[in-house]
Amino acid sequence: MSGPYRIDGGAIDRGRSLAFRFDGRSLSGHPGDTLASALLANGVRLVGRSFKYHRPRGVFAAGSEEPNALVELRGGAWREPNTRATVAELFDGLEAFSQNYRGSLRRDLLAVNDLLAPFLSAGFYYKTFMWPKSFWEKVYEPVIRASAGLGRLSGEADPDSYDKGFLHCDLLIIGAGPAGLAAALAAGRSGARVILADEDFVMGGRLNAETHEVNGRSGADWAAEAVRELASMDRVRLLLRTAVTGAYDHGIYGALERRTDHLAAADGKPRQVLWRIYSKRTILAAGATERPIAFGGNDRPGVMLAGAVRAYANRFAVGAGRRVGVFTNNDDGWRTAVDLARKGVEVAAVIDARDCEPVAEVPGARALMGGRVTATRGRHGLKEVTLATGERIALDCLAVSGGWNPNVHLTCHHGGRPVWHDGIAAFVPGDRLPVGMTVAGAAGGAFNAAGTLTGGHGAAVEALDELGFSVAAGDPPGASDEATDVAPFWHVGESRGRAWLDLQNDVTVKDVEQAHREGFRSVEHLKRYTTLGMATDQGKTANVGALAIMAGQTGRSIAETGTTMFRPPYTPVPIAAFAGRSRGRDFRPTRLTPSHDWAAERGAVFVEAGAWLRAQWFPRPGETHWRQSVDREVLQTRGSVGICDVTTLGKIDIQGRDAAEFLNRIYANGFAKLAVGKVRYGLMLREDGIAYDDGTTARLGENHFIMTTTTVNAVLVFRNMEFARQCLWPGLDVHLISVTEQWAQFAVAGPNSRALLRKIVDPEHDISNEAFPFMACGEVGVCGGTPARLFRISFSGELAYEVAVPARYGEALMAALMAAGEEFGAVAYGTEALGVMRIEKGHAAANELNGQTTARMLGMQRMVSKNKDCIGNVLSERPEMNREDGLELTGFRPVDRSEELPSGAHFLATGAEAATENDEGWMTSVAWSPELGHSIGLGFIRNGHTRIGETVRAWDGLRGRDVAVEIVSAHFLDPDGERLRG
Amino acid sequence: MAESPLRARPALDGYNRSIGAVALAEVSGLALVSAAAPQGGDEAFAAALAGGLGAERPATGDSSAGDKFGARVLGMQPDQMFILFEPPDPDRPAETVSAALGGAAYVTDQTDSWAMLRVAGAGVRNALERICMLDLDDAAFPEGRVARTVMEHLAVIVLRDGADSFLLMSPRSSARSFLHAVELSVANLSQ
């Protein structure tokens, strides 16, 4: 038998031993143990130090509500702090460490805080570290941070993997205790699709911790049998180790499944899965949490919740003490005494705060009715309690029950407030539940086994009926109807020493009283001021007791005082689980162009453009600076021919009898009269008249157009056009479909581009200047019959084409183009060279179309046709957007040609102070022009076109630059467009 | 028609792998063409589908089998079908559909827009649970159902083409990311 505190019975597998270590000490337990039960079995009572005062603390509860027993699990990069020992399933080789101390756990140097407690009361930080102000960042905060924080993070990247998923069901049942199991059986037998989720690693809930009988057998056996039946049903899914942590809209719930936390190693599988569960109906059968009574020294290791002591005895075969006392205000507390006595654990006394007859006969125990515990003793664990009568009783465990609180948390996630129920002296769910949710069992305030079973069954029958199932649920399981009377009792007034309310945050009764004295009347303020109910346990054992104290202070009832708002998550969810697999390289998808591998093999440097990776430039051996590569690409393209993958541009296939009319309304400029076989540049305005995208559209047939958009706006333009088609002009016959992915498209630019393409385009297609002039388009064959589209358009300002083939041929076409271009010294060029050439040519791009730009600013006001209606036409007429002294796009060059222009610089008149009121515009794009041999820029400046030749300053306060620049035409090269028409 | 001298590269390079009981394989060789009904042309479109492909016009979210070209017509949106078929001329699938439908629809080649990945085998739905928010249960998504959805930020068309088989289509440019997402989902579930 492992551990001196093991007793008979329980649901542990005594046939196998599990070795584990706690603070380096080798111990053993059994399958079925939690770390907490195994520690208790081994007599380890001191398991950690409290958050603020570094008080010795032990295991307090037996479930996820545990406030005290926070430990670090595992080692190295796997180290996980602040884990509740009560939900950590024991496995062979588990390594656990206590936390929050300096020196050793037993001799914690920071326990000095406890001596300073009179100075560390509620609001301590707010009051103490106010002055001198400058000390906060440099002195106070580092010191506070160093001494706070409970456990330690590993400081390394989390080596585990996480995943997410989506589940669907008719009925989600949260909690597999008696109510949840009864509901699941009823629903499963009726053929409904059921998800039954429970945070524990064994289903059955309190049935495993109690000695109830269900249908004439032990509750635990009945639960096991019910689980077996459910597991055999195809439509029922059992989610063990799964906490449903949040209720979201439309019956959607969040749940965390801990898949490998109970194993020594995850073996490459996701450690945890965060589920999104879509349910038609939900039954919340989350049970109830016991609450303590506040009395002097009630935080000492050995003072535990009565229901937890019972769970350790009945389920885990552990006596939490050798000589146990019970302090209760309700009938349920007596069950602990009865069960322990039955198991042979000595029960010294049952101290019941009520003046009533003893509830049960407990062999060997004194019944002290009307009794109250006022103080405890024992340095690292309980040795003795003192009663209000002055009597002292030697105990090493005091099981405390102040009643039970229904776990209403998920009922409040949509803003519902729980309501006070006098009969059970606890909050129960209010009327405003998340849609589709009903509450059954102890979560709804039914505290006996019979009530939970019939409640769960009934809730399922009702839900199934609503969903239209023919219910084949049979009768609910039967159970004994045990007594659950309770008389509210929160705090022993005669207490000596501090009486703790929130063990995790070290909040005492006195703190709550002080907060009230200092004017904090709202529970929400109380929470923030005292830190009550914060951190991993979210005050599950603390909140209601504190409310009661607060209510007592204000003279209001608890119902009037109300609760703080419960928000998701119900139990802690690691950030890693929220991230799931979206980390590192897989943070988001990557889009690759058809020539990506080709470019990568040639050492291309890539740049992100949205989700795309585009080749930025192609370094060649000997090139040590990116500018060398870019300059070469530009010069070679302008000197001969260059090839660039432009597949990323958005492409939209537009067809329909009214396609031309549709485009006429979408674009600011006219498209109705565009001839078949021609391409036109188009500018799109937003409704407010601001230019937002541009591109070219080709007319492939009378009713067939192909539009290109900018890379970044591809989706936006498509979406806006779908909106226009479906909502603005549903009468037009026009259809849209994206073909961005369908076509691989390459720009072939430079004086030798035609010569190159003559080797690629099949000879039956005449691409001479006469047959295929500037702005021509057509369907052609390339490389001996591969279908292709050819467009004679130019972004670079050179004689240029774009050629498109189905994407599967894209990589081969890139290679074919480069091979055909070898005799011309063709280069592949990237987005940098593309950018240089478009700036040299004065073409606007995203830097210019920044959401503030009008057609007039771009010098395109004449394109906004007044002979037709189009999106943005009307609002583009607004006076402010048509000021004579408005901003206009022009070119800029440094007066001293050796200077580099600063992008983003603002224009100021010579001698003007750098102030907002003197601002004349800004530089949008700059580049080094290898053709001109100096820096060039584009920018918006007031009245630009009338100021050509004028000198102003490009002032950049960020980089500390102030450069004299000359205003010039935006068309640095070939202003008359002779090259592209050649 | 002469064989094109440009080498076609499948979106997933012909990927084919089994992980546990689930087989993942790129589907290549099928053509995909969108067909949109002109306004007021619904009846003619339905008649053309029946006459030209031997297929009923499916409701949005459903699909129907045709008796020509091994075609399956996918109902993508109220006025738009996708036709998945074995093209007699792989380089001109839109022309094939256009001819079959006698001009009753606006057609656009989508073959290269979508990488096609078939995932099949016992447990395939458990794997897809990790990335697909749609309910793929028999009752909600029987064989022949089709839907557009999003998986790991990527657009996906899901066609259930067997009891334990799904054809997934996702944009070609992000096909490798998509494949990784599906592969990982299967691997995470396999024993």
Measured between alpha carbons, how far is A253 from A264 in angstroms, rounded to an integer? 29
Minimum Cα–Cα distance from A740: chain B residue? B113
Contact A746, A827 (CB under 8 A): no
Chain CA centroid to CA A444, Å? 30
Is B172 in Cβ contact with A741 (below 8 Å)?
yes
pLDDT exceeding 90 applies to what percent of chain B? 96
Task: Give residue B153's pLDDT.
Answer: 94
Q: Which chain B residues have a beta carbon less than 8 Å from that of A745?
A: none
B36 with A738: Cβ contact below 8 A: no
Interface with chain B: mutation pick from A583, A735, A789, A809, highest number of B CBs within 10 Å: A735
- pLDDT score recorded for residue A191: 96
A167 contacts B153? CB cut-off 8 A = no
Does the pLDDT at position A912 exceed 70? Answer: yes
Quick one: average pLDDT of B140-146? 98
Res. A516 pLDDT band, cuts 50 70 90: very high
Predicted local distance difference test score (pLDDT) of residue B191: 66
Cβ-based contacts of B170 with chain A (< 8 Å): none
Is pLDDT above 60 for B3?
A: no
**Cis bond upstream, residue A569 (ω within 30):** yes
Q: Do B5 and A738 touch (CB under 8 A)?
A: no
pLDDT above 60: residue A675: yes
pLDDT reading at A118 higher than 90: no
Determine whether A61 is exposed, middle or buried from the number of CB atoms within 10 Å of its CB (0-12, 13-18, 19+). buried
Q: What is the mean pLDDT of residues A576-605?
A: 95
Reference A931, options A795, A840, A838; nearest CA is A840
Percent of chain A with pLDDT over 70: 98
C-alpha distances out from residue A838 to A828, A832, A879, A972, A980, Å: 16, 10, 31, 10, 13
Q: Which of B112, B126, B177 to probe the A interface (max A CBs under 10 A)? A: B112
- What does DSSP assign to residue A194? E
Which residue of A162, A168, A606 to mutate against B (max B Cβ within 10 Å)? A168
pLDDT band of A536, cuts 50, 70, 90 = confident
Closest C-alpha to A480, from A271, A211, A680, A820: A211
The CA-to-CA distance between both ends of chain B, in Å, stands at: 49
Half-sphere exposure of A208 (CA within 13 A, CB side): 25
Say yes or no for a CB contact (<8 Å) between A786 and B79. no
- CA dist B19 and B10 (Å) reads 21
Structure confidence at residue A481 (pLDDT): 78
CB contact under 8 A, A784 and B4: yes
CA distance A258 to A270: 9
Say how far residue B167 (Cα) sits from the centre of its chain: 6
The token pair at A326 is 């019970």
- Note whether A806 contacts B140, CB cutoff 8 Å: no
Q: Which residues of A touch B174 (CB under 8 A)?
A: 589-592, 611
Could you tell me which chain A residue has the CA closest to the CA of B13? A808
Stronger pLDDT, A345 or A531, i.e. the higher one? A345
B153 sits in the region (left: phi over 0; alpha: psi -120 to 50; else beta) called left
Nearest CA-CA distance, residue A611 and chain B, Å: 9
Out of B4, B11, B152, whose CB is closest to A783? B4
Indicate yes or no: CB of A741 within 8 angstroms of CB of B106. no
DSSP A390: S
3-state secondary structure chain B: CCCCCCCCCCCCCCCEEEECCEEEEECCCCEEEEEECCCCCHHHHHHHHHHHHCCCCCCCCCEEECCCCCCEEEEEECCEEEEEECCCCCCCHHHHHHHHHCCCCEEEECHHHEEEEEEECCCHHHHHCCCCCCCCCCCCCCCCCEEEEEECCEEEEEEEEECCEEEEEEEHHHHHHHHHHHHHHHHHHCC
A969 vs A300: CA distance, rounded Å: 83
A417-428 confidence digits (pLDDT tens) = 999 999 999 999
Q: What is the pTM of this model?
A: 0.94
B-chain residue closest to A266, CA distance:
B188
What CA–CA distance (Å, rounded) separates A795 from A750?
11
8 Å CB contact of A737 and B130: no
CA distance B172 to chain A (A): 6
C-alpha distance from B115 to closest chain A C-alpha (Å): 10
CB contact under 8 A, A787 and B172: no
Is residue B158 exposed (0-12), middle (13-18) or buried (19+ Cβ within 10 Å)? Answer: buried
Residue range A882-911: average pLDDT?
A: 96
Reply yes or no on whether the pLDDT at A189 is more than 90. Answer: yes
Which string of b and e fits A107-118 if b means at least 16 CB within 10 Å?
Answer: ebebbebbeebe
d(CA A509, CA A495): 10
| The token pair that represents A823 in the structure block | 């005799």
Q: Which of A273, A612, A656 sits opposite B38 (nearest CB)?
A: A656
Q: What letters, b where the CB count within 10 A reaches 16 and e where it falls short, cover A468-485? A: ebebebeebbebeebebb
Is A737 in Cβ contact with B11 (below 8 Å)? no
**3 state DSSP class of A538:** coil
Kindly report which listed range (A135-139, A662-666, A715-719, B51-55) carries the lowest average pLDDT score. A135-139
From A725, which residue of chain B is nearest by alpha-carbon distance?
B39
**In this complex, which of A588, A782, A784 lies closest to B2 when CB atoms are compared?**
A784
Q: What is the per-residue pLDDT for B2?
A: 39
Q: Is A706 exposed, middle or buried, given 0-12, 13-18 or 19+ CB atoms closer than 10 A? A: buried
pLDDT at A3: 87
Q: Which residue of B has its CA nearest to A760?
A: B6
Instruction: Give the A:B interface size as CB pairs under 8 Å.
Output: 145
Residues 6 or more apart in contact with residue A436 via CB below 8 angstroms: A251, A279, A280, A281, A282
Given a contact cutoff of 8 angstroms between Cβ atoms, the answer to whether A200 and A241 are in contact is yes
Query: d(Cα A822, Cα A385) in Å, to the nearest integer?
Result: 95
> How many residues in chain B?
191
The DSSP element (H or E) to which A592 belongs, if any, is strand A591-592
E strand map for A191-345: 194-197, 213-214, 217-218, 236-239, 242-247, 252-258, 272-284, 288-290, 303-305, 323-328
Nearest neighbour of B132 by CB, restricted to A166, A611, A742: A166
Nearest CB to B174; choose among A611, A703, A732: A611
The chain B residue lying nearest A739, using CA atoms, is B113
Q: How close does chain B come to A259, measured CA to CA in Å?
A: 11
Which DSSP symbol is given to A105?
A: S
Structural contact between residues A718 and A738, judged by C-beta atoms closer than 8 angstroms:
yes
Q: Average pLDDT in the A356-370 region?
A: 95
Burial per residue of A751-763, b for 16 or more beta-carbon CB atoms within 10 angstroms, e otherwise: bbbbbbbebbbee
Contact status, residue A420 vs residue A411, Cβ threshold 8 Å:
no
Give the span between the Cα atoms of A575 and A47, in whole angstroms. Answer: 26
A-chain residues near B38 (CB < 8 A): 656-657, 733
- Is it the case that residue A130 has pLDDT exceeding 70? no
Least confident of A69-83, A429-443, A853-867, B121-135: A853-867
The nearest alpha carbon in chain A to B133 belongs to A166
Side chain identity, residue A405? N
What would the 3-class secondary structure string for A288-323 be?
A: EEECCCECECCCCCCEEEHHHHHHHHHCCCECCCCE
What is the distance between the alpha carbons of residues A617 and A836, in angstroms, rounded to a whole number?
A: 12
Give the Cα separation of A113 and A431 in Å (integer). 45
Name which of A791, A784, A832, A778 is nearest A809 in CA terms. Answer: A784
Q: In this predicted model, what pLDDT tens digit does every residue of A373-397 receive, in sequence order?
A: 999 999 999 999 999 999 999 999 9
Q: Would you state the structure tokens that stand for residue A454, as one six-digit string? A: 């019939």
Say if residue A1's pLDDT is above 60: no
Q: How far apart are CA A295 and CA A288, in angstroms?
A: 22
| Cβ neighbours of A647 in B, within 8 Å | 173
CB contact under 8 A, B4 and A612: no
Supply the pLDDT for residue A51. 86
d(Cα A100, Cα A147) in Å, to the nearest integer? Answer: 8
- Token pair, residue A281, equals 């109906």
Nearest CA to CA, how far is B173 from chain A (Å)? 5
Question: pLDDT per residue over A779-837, tens digit each?
Answer: 999 999 999 999 999 999 999 999 999 999 999 999 999 999 999 999 999 999 999 99
| Beta carbons of B174 and A653 less than 8 Å apart | no
Nearest CA to A70 out of A55, A52, A51, A53 is that of A51
Question: Which tokens go with A809?
Answer: 């041929």
Do A655 and B171 lie within an 8 Å CB cutoff? no
CB-based contact B130 A165, cutoff 8 Å: yes
Nearest Cα residue to A531 out of A570, A505, A512? A505
Burial label for A344, CB within 10 Å (0-12, 13-18, 19+), is: exposed
Q: Between helices A543-554 and A509-517, what is the axis angle to 10°?
A: 40
Biggest alpha carbon–alpha carbon distance for chain A: 114
- Gyration radius from chain B CA atoms: 17
Q: Are B174 and B182 in contact (CB under 8 A)?
A: no
**DSSP symbol at A433:** P
The per-residue pLDDT for A564 is: 82
Residue B1's pLDDT is 35
Is A6 in contact with A27 (CB distance < 8 Å)? no
Q: B5 vs A586: CB contact, 8 Å cut-off? A: no
Does residue A17 surpass a pLDDT of 60? yes
